[in-house]
Structure 1
């Protein structure tokens, strides 16, 4: 009988091996990605994430890629055209708002650039575009999120990094999840989510767990209060988190928390196996 891969974990991890702290050279990352895809756990993978500046080095990749635009809104069309000429399957586009002094206006520029790319045939309307809105949840942040939600662009939340200040608190992340759900906006996460359950990392930072985030999304969608969502994100007890996961419809939560980028594929896989979830 063929293996049935649980839908809740399908395409959960976007392979971001070329990004810190992994920093694999592109050729090595591509070779590893092909091996991951061919393995019994290949369904765990979503897209291969790379910078737009990496595109010239990619040849013959049959799996979808997410292109991280390293410039501003005006730099979207060029990489998309190059990806098309290279015959790559575009699974997503990611970029960050850059003008911190006027996030709503920056969001409008991104919307205009995305719509122009769609009109030119460079971007399918159903290809997700994830936009990172940096900074605290100010009125400007929320207005920028409104601009993106109005045209069904997705959000991107930074959940870690190479420095401790890049890791949002449980309260900050809960507020972002609430903001996304209030606008019926799917989101992905990036950085720091190598493991399933919240913990203190070897780097001294407080790392969120991807299973905590999935549970928190489910609870928030079901109407849980902010403090309950914060508590779900803060739970460090693997047995408690797994028990809560067993009682929740996490597949439904994937409608909103679509995936997370990780420079490691094997670490999330190992946690799912060790916790008895695979």
Structure 2
């Protein structure tokens, strides 16, 4: 899978730019705050820093970052994606949202110019959201110029697909009638086998968001570029090249769920090829111009507790 410098500039950079949001605070790494934020500051100076996205932290812990802000500057900014608190119902969710946003506003005021919180990851209550809830989430986060992604928190049980599609319908309905654009955050793994959705389940969300023009981001389990079995979780982990390529092909080629599931389940790295035109999976291609546009507007990034592991695997595949 080795590629030329020209291909790197036109295709790989568009694909991997700011792809990895650093989530060192979260499992399985679950680092204390000090080494996690020191890692992020160091990564900002790496030659691969162009692949680095935001530092992910719960909104409730923002105040703990105050002593570490001097690690950053206006030239080397602390870019943050804040995670909202979990809730059980609509009113609880709105109360949590208000408290989280107040903490974010105060933190940014204290460190104006050095800190930017431009993304908010909002866990929805474990119910299908109504329009009132979505409108409040969108309008209140928009006041702070944040791109907001709603995480569906319902269990991966027999009703998951029905509830997920109903949630996507509600978000699409809201986006269509408003000036805002709420996205969806999909959890693609965890620390146990039962936390990993199947390729068919991930395909349901990729196709569903494509059909409804809903932006996406991802979190958990995407440590490796290509899907592979891992003993530490006793199951196959999704690959981030699988997920993002499948998402891109869903949006550019209008593929059905079965085909998208095949891309997600593919464990053969040679089927994913960067060319001087873009990226291909077998005989299906996404052009570099589409990659760039999709990364900006549709398939944002993914959270990983490691910035090193994905890059090491990319080097093994001779991509960087």
Task: Report if TM-score (shorter chain) is over 0.5.
Answer: yes
The correspondence for 1:37, drawn from 29, 44, 67, is 44
User: Which secondary structure state, in structure 2, belongs to the residue aligned with residue 195 of structure 1?
Assistant: coil
What is the Cα deviation at residue 218 of structure 1?
2.0
Could you tell me which residue of structure 1 aligns to residue 167 of structure 2?
144
Checking the alignment, whether the CA contact within 8 Å between 1:175 and 1:226 is kept in structure 2 is yes
1:217-264 superposed Cα distances (whole Å, 9 cap, x missing partner): 122111222221111111101112236935533434424221100000
Q: 1:241 to 1:256 in 2, by over 3 A?
A: same
Checking the alignment, whether the CA contact within 8 Å between 1:196 and 1:212 is kept in structure 2 is yes
User: Which secondary structure state, in structure 2, belongs to the residue aligned with residue 239 of structure 1?
Assistant: helix
1:175-217 superposed Cα distances (whole Å, 9 cap, x missing partner): 1101111110110110000000000112212101000111111
User: Which secondary structure state, in structure 1, belongs to the residue aligned with residue 129 of structure 2?
Assistant: helix
Please provide the CA RMSD for this pair: 2.1
Checking the alignment, whether the CA contact within 8 Å between 1:104 and 1:141 is kept in structure 2 is no
The correspondence for 1:99, drawn from 126, 131, 139, is 126
The correspondence for 1:192, drawn from 209, 218, 221, is 221
Could you tell me which residue of structure 2 aligns to residue 129 of structure 1?
148
The number of equivalent residue pairs is 267
Uncovered stretches (5+) of structure 1, i.e. residues with no partner: none
Q: Please identify the structure whose Cα radius of gyration is greater.
A: 2
Checking the alignment, whether the CA contact within 8 Å between 1:214 and 1:253 is kept in structure 2 is no
1:123-165 superposed Cα distances (whole Å, 9 cap, x missing partner): 22xx210111134121x43232233232310000010001111
Instruction: Report which structure shows greater RCO (CA 8 Å, sep ≥6).
Output: 2
Q: Does 1:109 align with 2:139?
A: no
| Length-normalised TM-score, structure 2 | 0.78
User: Which secondary structure state, in structure 2, belongs to the residue aligned with residue 85 of structure 1?
Assistant: helix
Checking the alignment, whether the CA contact within 8 Å between 2:121 and 2:149 is kept in structure 1 is yes
The correspondence for 1:248, drawn from 277, 286, 301, is 286
Checking the alignment, whether the CA contact within 8 Å between 1:108 and 1:147 is kept in structure 2 is no
For 1:262 and 1:68, the matched residues in 2 are separated by 14
What is the Cα deviation at residue 174 of structure 1?
0.4
Could you tell me which residue of structure 2 aligns to residue 217 of structure 1?
247
